[in-house]
Structure 1
Amino acid sequence: MYCTDKRSGYSRLLLPVVLLACVGATLQGRAEETGLLADISLPVELHGFMETRAGVRTQHDPHEKDGSVMEVRVQGELLTHTEWAEFKYKGDAWGDGITEKGAYDTREAWGFIRPSDFLDVKVGRQVLTWGTGDLVFLNDLFPKDWQSYFIGRDRDYLKAPSDAAKVSLFTDLVNVDLVYTPKFDPDRFITGEYLSSWNNSVHRGAGRDALVDADTPDRWFDDDEIAIRVYGNINNYELAFYGYWGFWKRPAGEALSGLATFPALHVYGGSARGQVGTGIGNVEIAFYQSADDENGSDPRIQNSEMRYLVGYTQDLARDCNASLQYYVEQMLDYAAYKTNLTDSTDRDRYRQVLTLQLTKLMMNQNLELVFASYYSPSDDDAYLRPNLRYKYSDRMLLEAGANVFLGEKQHTFFGQLESNSNIYAALRYSF
């Protein structure tokens, strides 16, 4: 069984009731002001694209298909609004040559209202993000889809949607974002269907022969998540404080029990971002409290951690930008971890990662070249993602790129994915 959060049932129940009451009262007031029975002609905007995308592995993996991605995708987006609200729906339908199935995913389906100048409310499926990292996430505990990113889908798909209610409060002193997710939204983690990893190779084989079996918390208003951000601007520097009460976003424990779980997690952190010299600097810190195993004695549950990030972004030349980051994960209760270690996957107390992203625009900004790289001196592994996007016309976009994984150890974050290196290309027509 998965572990449950230690918050009281009263606090879990109170927040959704308050949010629903707030939304209901606002809708009622707006209905009285505008008159819902009156004839309203709603403007509707329709956007979308059709895309074909294909990729192949650069080395053979006996547990996976030779293709890394193979799909034809259609996305449709509808947006409408009244004087007091906005509504949006965005969905993807695609035929998947890897799974040999058709699929559909609702990316967004939300309603937005602004009952006053100091309050916004957004309810429904939405893509959420905050924090200062460039493809490195500390206090951003909203779901990610690293599997899509690693097989070569568009980078927009790295951020998965949340089914949540978001309330934003604006004051002269600070601003507050409060997000309530009534049922846990995990990361769209690596299952073995598209990528082979160490976690799904300990038992029963690997890759498609050993799909990850995860016990995901899924009880409405019980297995919920709360995230808060309090932020403001002081002397042109953006300061923020964060809190999160929910679960670890990626499963753990399968290597020992055969069943992956999502233990309870509390996160507290802060960040600062502003001009440093001729560029933009940022720092961020987060304390990950492993609420179901605070002393680190259970090897099936991740230990508590401190996470640190220092970054700097600067324009090197016209239409040329560089971003450099240094990221550290510090495992707490390391002595307990070493005492209870049950296999040979000994990790360092400090996991260090250096990231470098270079972006260059050419040909009147119609050609975009991006090189994203991650290197871990502690794990001795790396991940490289070169990408090229060419805007052939206002509607036609061509893309090509690669995902390259390097590493000697089968259990490190990037090293475990070495057999999944791939190249890919795509053609998109927007409407």
Structure 2
Amino acid sequence: MQCDKKNSKFWKILNLSFLLALSFLTQPGQAEEENPDALWDQFSRPEIHGFCEMRAGCRIQNDPYEKDISVMEARLQAEVFTCNDWADFKYKGDVWGDGVTEKGHYDIREAWIFSRPTDFLDVKIGRQILTWGTGDLVFLNDLFPKDWQSFFIGRDAEYLKAPSDAAKFGFFTDLVNIDMVYTPQFDSDRYITGEYVSYWNGTEQTRAGQDAMVTSDRPDRWFQDDEIAVRVYKNIRNYELALYGYRGFWKRPGGETSSGLAIFPKLNVYGASARGQVGAGIGNIELAWYQSADDESGSDSLVDNSEMRYLAGYTQDIGKDLNATLQYYIEQLLNYDNYEENLAGGAARDRYRHVITLQLTKLLMNQNLELGLSGYYSPSDEDAYLRPHIHYKYSDKIALETGGNIFFGDEPYTFFAQFRNNTNLYLAVRYSF
């Protein structure tokens, strides 16, 4: 099984925190001496859930840089929840055999303690899945880790959100509510490396995959290469208004060294959003300023420029059990003149990148059958990405799913077109318990 050093250090510290918390909060009456099981009697009966799954997929176009199979795995997920008078505890972990890497893997998805010590404060510490912002599969102020690699090969949509090793604090007041997330050691995206998905290698100006895996220098110093994310929000007349702030690093490589080693430059993000009723549906707007702190002038060709990002969206039920979400997303590259002047070869990015997204969901057969489509089209890049899926709940325990990841585009260097040889179809069978 694979387990990196970062995670092993983190879980040693987390386990110690569990033990310290229990030792301080156990009454000093020493009931444990009379009854060794008294400590465990303070906890609720554990709730255990999970699933076993077989998932397989293959490319429908030839890709000389990857295997013909896009996904091939047998997976077991187990989830355990318990609580006592002062806290909730949860663990969720996956173990799977991977036919693409020909290895076994283990991943802790969640392992946290949640407590509400006062009426105005929530605390959640440990590995957890975090999300905020208003976009539907489009993320601006949500700077928590993503796993687009899993999404593009046909794993379940839940794996798009990667876990964070963090402490989250929620403060509730009559004026505003505040969420603050502190990550003591940088958690990057699980970005495209070439292991599963081939990509455009900008350094070599060619396509690459398992023949040229991305190597990176990821910041990994505890309490120095850390991240802080803050959200201040309030509901006013059923409209949620929010302000956001982030200090950390680009979540996927945002630059490279002169030797081609991928790096994660420092990044600050400031944003705002609004979401609420508009006509018969729900509308949302969001914007974010990505300040590239290591190159604010945009004159360093080896570090990504600052950006502005904008999103407007609308979701509505347009029929019986039929929901649609339409979004318009824009990325604006700042300091563009300096960017063009210092471009070190290759195709230049456009000043503006436009993306239109459409999400459709239709439920049939007493909501046991779900037909879904996630679609992205960029009129500026002239490329697109479609992710259709069909999910059928055969029984309370057995579910079947099929779908695909389909990429279009003529230019090999645009975002979606670079993945066109990774177009794939997949099939899954899941048994839940």
**Equivalence for 2:180:** 178
Q: Secondary structure at the match of 1:198?
A: strand
Shift of 1:119: 0.7
What is the alpha-carbon distance in structure 2 between the residues aligned to residue 272 and residue 32 of structure 1?
47
- Whether the 8 Å contact between 1:167 and 1:177 is mirrored in structure 2 is yes
For the structure 1 residues 191 and 39, does the alpha-carbon distance in structure 2 shift closer, same or farther, using more than 3 Å as the test? closer
The residue type equivalent to 2:165 in the other structure is D
Q: Which stretch of structure 1 is more off in the superposition, 159-168 or 247-256?
A: 247-256
1:401 equivalenced with 2:403 (yes/no)? yes
Alignment of 1:33-52 (within 5 A): 39-41=39-41, 42=43, 43-52=45-54
**Equivalence for 2:280:** 278
Shift of 1:411: 1.3
Shift of 1:254: 4.5
**Equivalence for 1:144:** 146
What is the alpha-carbon distance in structure 2 between the residues aligned to residue 390 and residue 408 of structure 1?
35
**Equivalence for 2:234:** 232
Alignment of 1:15-164 (within 5 A): 31=26, 39-41=39-41, 42=43, 43-164=45-166
Alpha-carbon displacement from aligned partner over 1:76-121 (angstroms, at most 9, x marks no partner):
1111100110111111000000000011000001111110111110
Shift of 1:344: 2.6
Alpha-carbon displacement from aligned partner over 1:4-39 (angstroms, at most 9, x marks no partner):
xxxxxxxxxxxxxxxxxx999998885569999554
Alpha-carbon displacement from aligned partner over 1:300-346 (angstroms, at most 9, x marks no partner):
11100110000000000111000000000011100000001112321
- Whether the 8 Å contact between 1:204 and 1:210 is mirrored in structure 2 is no
Alpha-carbon displacement from aligned partner over 1:41-82 (angstroms, at most 9, x marks no partner):
221011000000000001011111000000000001111100
**Equivalence for 2:420:** 418
Shift of 1:181: 0.2
Alpha-carbon displacement from aligned partner over 1:262-309 (angstroms, at most 9, x marks no partner):
000000000000000000000001000000000001111110011000
- Whether the 8 Å contact between 2:26 and 2:39 is mirrored in structure 1 is no
- Whether the 8 Å contact between 2:297 and 2:338 is mirrored in structure 1 is yes
The residue type equivalent to 2:297 in the other structure is N
In structure 1, runs of 5+ residues without a counterpart are: 1-21
TM-score with structure 2 setting the length: 0.91
Q: Secondary structure at the match of 1:130?
A: coil
What is the alpha-carbon distance in structure 1 between the residues aligned to residue 202 and residue 107 of structure 2?
25
**Equivalence for 2:359:** 357
Shift of 1:253: 3.2
Shift of 1:199: 2.7
1:326 equivalenced with 2:351 (yes/no)? no
Shift of 1:395: 0.3
Shift of 1:256: 5.7
**Equivalence for 2:316:** 314
The residue type equivalent to 1:403 in the other structure is N
What is the alpha-carbon distance in structure 1 between the residues aligned to residue 29 and residue 314 of structure 2?
48
The residue type equivalent to 2:276 in the other structure is G
- Whether the 8 Å contact between 1:191 and 1:200 is mirrored in structure 2 is no
- Whether the 8 Å contact between 1:200 and 1:206 is mirrored in structure 2 is no
Q: Secondary structure at the match of 2:201?
A: helix
Alpha-carbon displacement from aligned partner over 1:190-227 (angstroms, at most 9, x marks no partner):
11010100037727972101000111000000000000
The residue type equivalent to 1:114 in the other structure is R
- Identity among equivalent positions (%) equals 66
- Whether the 8 Å contact between 1:199 and 1:255 is mirrored in structure 2 is no
In structure 2, runs of 5+ residues without a counterpart are: 1-16, 33-37
Alpha-carbon displacement from aligned partner over 1:118-145 (angstroms, at most 9, x marks no partner):
1110000000000000000000000000
TM-score with structure 1 setting the length: 0.91
- Whether the 8 Å contact between 2:255 and 2:265 is mirrored in structure 1 is no
What is the alpha-carbon distance in structure 1 between the residues aligned to residue 20 and residue 208 of structure 2?
53
Shift of 1:257: 3.2
For the structure 1 residues 345 and 26, does the alpha-carbon distance in structure 2 shift closer, same or farther, using more than 3 Å as the test? same
- Whether the 8 Å contact between 1:384 and 1:405 is mirrored in structure 2 is yes
